Structure 1
Amino acid sequence: MAVSKSHQTDAPPDKKPSSVTQDTLQWIVLKIVIPLVIVLTLWQLIAGLTRINLLDVLNALLRLTFEGDSEGVYLSQHIIASVNRVTLGFLIAGVTGIPLGIIIGRYRSVYSILGPVVEAMRPIPPIAWIPLSLLMFPGNIIGAQAFIIWVGAFFPILINTTTGVKRTEPVHIDVAKTLGAGERDILGKIVVPSASPEIFAGLRIGFGIGWMCLVAAEMLRGHDGLGYLIWTYWGVGRTAEVIIGMLLIGLIGFLITFAFLYVERYLLRWRQTVSV
């Protein structure tokens, strides 16, 4: 028996292979080819200004990797030391910045008191805190370094958390109060979930700025870390090792940012479901 056209279901057309190939090529060009061309162009400019070639950098990379520096510290040890320092400062910034941001954003009286203080301290660059960090942590180089990184990461986390909390829809809070929800339920089930995108953005930005503060933090007394590597070899005129440290800081920072974006999309996937 023939089936009428009115009862036929139109299945969505499959994506053409040519379209898939075109999308793949476009992704490769945008994500790999263009960034690689930019990096190579910048490399040529730097090489022309510093009179250093790729072979010198590769030799220095192999030497630091397999033989270590003049003090016997291997490149992997420098990387691990830097990541540990930034992670410590970042964790302290998150533990202090998120709760304080929630309190400032939620309660107007607290915002009126602490808001001006935060705005006055926020423009001070982290490197300006180095003398004070040495006074605050005498003989404790790890504490002084963690403090510098904390300063860089703390304010983005605090500001973004405060902004996210203040953007919570008042009608949602009013409905929750009408249904008998207490302040703890309002914070845990409405305010924090609503502010979660801004909180994650603050964490991502805070880690990036904390990573940028690494060189300043490791300028303090120490014997390892990528910032220490850059500072030490710059003092003796070893440009190849300086470039290696800079490239590694950029590469690791990029990978960390990418990881943050992936985790953020995974943990906040429920928001896409709700919006649909």
Structure 2
Amino acid sequence: MREGRGWTQDSLAERMGYSSVHISAVETGRKPSTLRFSRSADRAFGLEGKADTFESEFREVRHGSLLEGFPEYVAHEGRAIEVRLYEVGVIPGLLQTVEYAATLEADAVRREMTTAEQAQERVALVPRRQAALVRNPSPLLHAVLDESCVRRPMGDAAVMDDQLARLLKFAEMPNTVLQVAPFSMGARRPFSLPVTVLTMADRSIMSYAESAQRGHLERDSASVTLILKAYHQLQAEALSQAASTAMIEELRKGFQ
């Protein structure tokens, strides 16, 4: 919209009361929009009182089908050169089949935690996220799954068989590492909640974690370095990829 009016970032910044650096950061996704920023943009573009406004877009993102903070994370995930993730209870989105994701969302609809339309949007995001990581050069993907992820039935036998087969195919890829953190790790498990660490092309690192209300992207290098250290310890204690795939193959027999 700015370019359509022939405005520079400097001129828009002056109209909105922000710096041009801030404008650039929001346009490129390095900073999320805020309610104040959205309202300032509406005033600058003369959109106040109209149906289609930046404020309405902000509220849709904040209260829509995707967890607050998650769209910002996905944008970084699609550009990362290395993704390290740890998940508990369910297969993570980057490794899910569409049928597995649909089963998860169908239960959320049943429990009235989401609408059917929101569930469809979340399921549609699964292949889009996975496609963003199929590029050249390929990013390195490290996935450590709590044993509960592969043992917890989700949907019927066919859904689980396909999902476990998907994990085995993931492990065969040249740019991936798949490990299972067995229950026997006990207190040696450094994380009790899911966590993801991204390494970007400039070697900067960031971590992402979720609460029930929102996702949080941490960019402070000192804090993320501690999480990365714990992740290395997790990998050292988890089963090897060979032992992990052997466990998954054995579990798969129960769904065939």
TM-score exceeds 0.5:
no
Q: Which has the higher strand share?
A: 2
Structure 1-normalised TM-score? 0.22
Q: Which has the higher helix share?
A: 1
* Structure of larger gyration radius: 1
